Structure 1
């Protein structure tokens, strides 16, 4: 076994008649793809998608993209393979055309994500800018194979370059422009611009990050191809420049919203009504007085020396009950405090509980207009059901998720994701309505639209600090919000 036996080879193994060479070309392409995958996985998790989705996608897409890149290259350089077709399979020698890989990857992505019920434009925004990093790394594979170079230059051209770049750019008895490096630098610059300035100041809708990628790469590649001398041709035209022009046009039309209008009833451009999930206590069901009196009773019974103000009681709203009590009671005392709290709360439940003002009117509108709606609460499931029945709201909902239905609680987005799964609806178009900071944060942690309901004016400042998508002071205001023509998610890359 030999490491780096020559410039093109990373590892060579010879055992008897067995001979294996692993080329730098392969190592660098796979490395770039893995880095892009890891970056995309991090982004996908921020919008509520687990590791399994991206793993399945990557493991199927990667070999197909390589195959597409090879086929594209062979089609437009058939003269190099016609006399010895077996060399079509020698991809370690180089010869992958990125445009062919991108087109294959896009086609596969369409069918894969559609079959999974995932918004292609939204997940694509998480993935495509990272492809620029993969391409920048992959270009070093071209360098190792002495590909992707430009015209002849003198040795002085490389005075500011490391010697290993100069030496490997000595091709066919002359120094050549390192177009692989220029394109790679352009890709890195594009990545930085897209995920910072473009995302912040220009992006308006799902898919815009994809369109920004195809525009940027189209421009960079078109410019690079002007100087490349080892390009693929169709007649007198460079294939990469033709394809780059198509990419640029597609990107510009996409940013302008042309596809949204032309294909407004076709996946992935079809706009769906949002799924609307609600917190229960303080949002749909008026339980504040019951909760406050339950805490007062608990502390009067077990810690009479602690006199809680209304402001301190407000801090209990939102987080799980155990978590709130654990701030005041030792671990050995929390279970007893829970027992005292629940005895009072459950025993007085029906005399306190009622629907929040305009809750029924809002729910009537949503049901009559075909919105999928559900409840996600940190309370025990049976107690949420009891509250909904007592307040006359139980018949509205397709699903109710309570404390015992989840492993992680708000602000973790798991309860919202479980609700969508039980409703058999995608979570790419989701609104979550709640009156606590943890409700807003749960929505934000999966890139959903958050509506903060200010049911108690004393919670206003705390809710403002969480920067919800919307703030309302009456539930009936939500009717006008759901009518808006917009993307029902937030970009959280």
Structure 2
């Protein structure tokens, strides 16, 4: 065993060498995986989706990188076709790797109702980071490799600090477009000045990468922004149910505790958490399921039917949105039949394409389950969705799903808490919603 027998080798054991280039390639792949996984979590996707995409992207990376390399060096492989499958020659084209990844992403997103451009924006920067990191290990093997590494560093700085932050006019797909153009420029410089001896001098692949990036950028900025699916919370957002809810809890306090204990502070708190959580907290000695049934039976009774109405401007705004072609839905902590009953009573049921009650999904807010499951039932992805709610957990659920969230301030006592939850927009009146939906940004939590 010998350590550092030459500048490019870490250790040599019985004729088997561990090269710096291999180590930095492995570390680059790990770093890229972590970055891409983080992006997909922010976008509201499960790890299984990330894993599937990365496996397919890995295949696209190998096939694309190898295919472009073979085409550029066809004069060598035409004499010995089986050499195409002999990967030991190290022949992979960097621009081909990126193009192969884009094709793989396209295949997956098309069949899974995902935004192609948003998915590319989540994956490509991580892939470029992995490639850049892998090149560091080649510095001992090629004296000019440090120039490519320096250019890679500049590219990453431009992507993460110049292109990635949201700004007016930014569109989904800009990150991918700029990444392709910059990667193409780096490879073109490398080929022209022979900075990397492991690459050839062909300008086909870098030119194709730059043209693909430019084409995507022009297409992205010429296409109209897709109208989002608009989902709403129900209680406190569409229906002014505050008085009714307070009466429902007062009914339970009168029966199981005392009305004197139902203080103003508790009345404010009952709107902060799902029904069962509040019942378990306020009535720890009672059976929560029994209390929930009593509460719901009370709500169905005549006692509360005259206590509710839609919030101001709800009817006319819903009609305006529906007439404009928006798909509308409700994600509520109520049971579906209870919500439908109130929608019919309030004469707004005709505006909604779907109503998802608490029995249709597994976990309540702030889990994103309700929003994601509703999108599945609508057979749409959640990359262009707006969720409107009046509670902190509504905003948290929307952000956890990676969708665009609108906090509806119906009570000034809630304003600070809602704003701290970091919604994408805040509205004080329901008729402000059409103006929010007219904005020129992508309909996701990160605005692109």
Q: How does 1:411-430 map to 2 (within 5 A)?
A: 411-430=366-385
Find the aligned partners of 2:76 and 2:344 in 1 and give their Cα distance: 75
The answer to whether the Cα contact below 8 Å between 2:336 and 2:359 also exists between their aligned partners in 1 is: yes
Q: How far off its partner does 1:75 sit?
A: 2.5
Deviation at 1:102, TM superposition (A): 1.8
Offset of residue 94 of structure 1: 0.9
Paired with 1:5 and 1:85, the residues of 2 have a C-alpha distance of: 36
Deviations 1:277-309 (A, max 9, x none): 111111111211010122223233333286344
In 2 relative to 1, CA 333–57 (structure 1 residues): closer, same or farther, beyond 3 Å?
closer
SS in 2 for 1:230: coil
Aligned to 1:58: 54
Do 1:46 and 1:447's aligned partners in 2 also have CA atoms closer than 8 Å?
yes
| Corresponding position of 2:229 | 275
Residue 433 of structure 1 aligns to a residue whose secondary structure is strand
1:198 aligns with 2:153: no
Q: How does 1:1-40 map to 2 (within 5 A)?
A: 32-33=28-29, 35-40=31-36
Change (3 A) 1:26 1:79: farther
Residue 304, structure 1, aligned to residue 258, structure 2: yes
**Correspondences of 1:377-392 after superposition (within 5 Å):** 377-392=332-347
Q: Does 1:476 align with 2:439?
A: no
CA contact (8 A) 2:241 2:309 kept: yes
Q: Is 1:228–2:182 an aligned residue pair?
A: no
The residue number in structure 2 matching 1:319 is 273
Residues in 2 aligned to 1:338 and 1:30: alpha-carbon distance in whole angstroms: 54
Q: Does 1:126 align with 2:122?
A: yes
How far apart are residue 11 of structure 1 and its match?
Answer: 11
Equivalent residue, structure 2, for 1:88: 84
Contact 1:194-1:212 at 8 Å conserved across structures: yes
Is 2:193 the partner of 1:239?
Answer: no
Asked if the contact 2:96/2:205 (under 8 Å) is kept, the reply is no
CA contact (8 A) 1:135 1:184 kept: no
Query: Highest CA radius of gyration, 1 or 2?
Result: 1
Whose RCO is larger (CA < 8 A, sep 6+)? 2
Instruction: Mark the runs of 5 or more structure 2 residues left unpaired by the alignment.
Output: none
**CA 349–10 in structure 1, closer or farther in 2 if over 3 Å, else same:** farther
Structure 1 position 412, deviation (Å): 1.5
Of 131, 143, 159, 1:135 maps to 131
Q: Is the Cα contact below 8 Å between 2:144 and 2:195 reproduced in 1? A: no
* Range 79-88 or range 438-447, more displaced: 79-88
Structure 1 segment 441-480 matched on structure 2, within 5 A: 441-480=396-435
Deviation at 1:207, TM superposition (A): 0.9
Q: Spell out the pairing of 1:199-218 with structure 2 (5 A cutoff).
A: 199-200=164-165, 202=167, 204-218=170-184
CA distance in 2, matches of 1:206, 1:387: 38
Q: Distance in 2 between matches of 1:443 and 1:412?
A: 9
Partner-residue secondary structure (3-state), 1:450: strand
Matches within 5 A, 1:145-224: 165=140, 169=141, 176-177=142-143, 179=145, 181-184=146-149, 186-187=151-152, 190-191=155-156, 194-200=159-165, 202=167, 204-224=170-190
Shift of 1:449: 1.6
Q: Gaps (5+ residues) in structure 1?
A: 14-19, 144-148, 150-164, 170-175, 265-269
Structure 2 CA distance for aligned equivalents of residues 282 and 109 of structure 1: 40
CA distance in 2, matches of 1:386, 1:216: 57
- Coordinate RMSD, CA, aligned: 3.6
Render the CA deviation track for 1:402-428: whole Å, top value 9, x for unaligned.
Answer: 111111111211101111111122221
Distance 1:5 1:280, change over 3 A: same
Map of 1:156 onto structure 2: none
Instruction: Trace 1:290-439 onto structure 2 (pairs within 5 A).
Output: 290-304=244-258, 307-330=261-284, 334-335=288-289, 337-347=291-301, 348-439=303-394
For the Cα contact (< 8 Å) 1:319–1:378, is it kept in 2?
no
TM-score w.r.t. the length of structure 1 is 0.78
Paired with 1:78 and 1:327, the residues of 2 have a C-alpha distance of: 72
TM-score by length of 2: 0.85
